[in-house]
Amino acid sequence: MKKILLTLLVLVFLSAQFCYSAQIAKDTEILVRINERHTSESLLAKDCIKAVTVSDFKINNKTIFSKGTEVLFFPDKVKKRGFAGKGGYIEIRSGIIKDKSGSEYRLSTKQKIQGDDRDWVIACMGLFTATIILIPLDVIGFVKGKSAVIEEGKILQCYFAESYNL
């Protein structure tokens, strides 16, 4: 009788733990704010971009990530401003966030920050007769596009890359 009662108590306890366990579903949104200003001229693909969470992230009224939790993003591609008026760009695809216990969670985002192109350069190249002076300057590289800039305080929408059981 004791074994049966003990078995039932263990099953009740395990089912209660299972019911109250939280899970972060894949593609759950979390908002983060960029901490520093970065440009495509100064940022390398191996550098990381620091950000913080905008608000508390809760599941079942349990705070998983508090406001201000640090997030690290890793640029996928960084292109400096180019010749012929082409602007630079920064692509961000993945990041990592840690909870209070130190567990890491992968984030994904699709952010491409584009620098402005200088369209007049391309138009002038098409009108060769009007730009005999500008084409050599453009070919040598005096006329470049603008750098891509990630301003401090920019809000990024991120999503969890996988499902996580807490």
Instruction: Copy the structure tokens of residue 82.
Output: 């180019």
User: Could you read off the pLDDT of 17-54 as tens digits, one per residue?
Assistant: 555 567 888 888 999 999 888 888 888 878 889 999 99
* Domain boundaries along the sequence of the chain: 24-165
Q: Which of 14-18, 23-27, 125-129 has the highest mean pLDDT?
A: 23-27
The DSSP secondary structure of 71-123, one letter per residue, reads EEEEEEEEE---BTTPPPEEEEEEEEEE-TT--EEEEEEEEEEEPPP-HHHHH
Query: How far apart (Å, rounded) are the C-alpha atoms in residues 110 and 105?
Result: 17
% of residues, the chain, pLDDT over 70:
68
CATH 2.60.40 fits 24-165, yes or no: no
Residue type, 158: C
Residue 42 is classified by DSSP as: T
Query: How far apart (Å, rounded) are the C-alpha atoms in residues 54 and 94?
Result: 18
Q: How far is CA 38 from CA 46, 94, 140, 154, 157, in A?
A: 13, 17, 27, 11, 18
Rounded to two decimals, what is the model's pTM?
Answer: 0.67
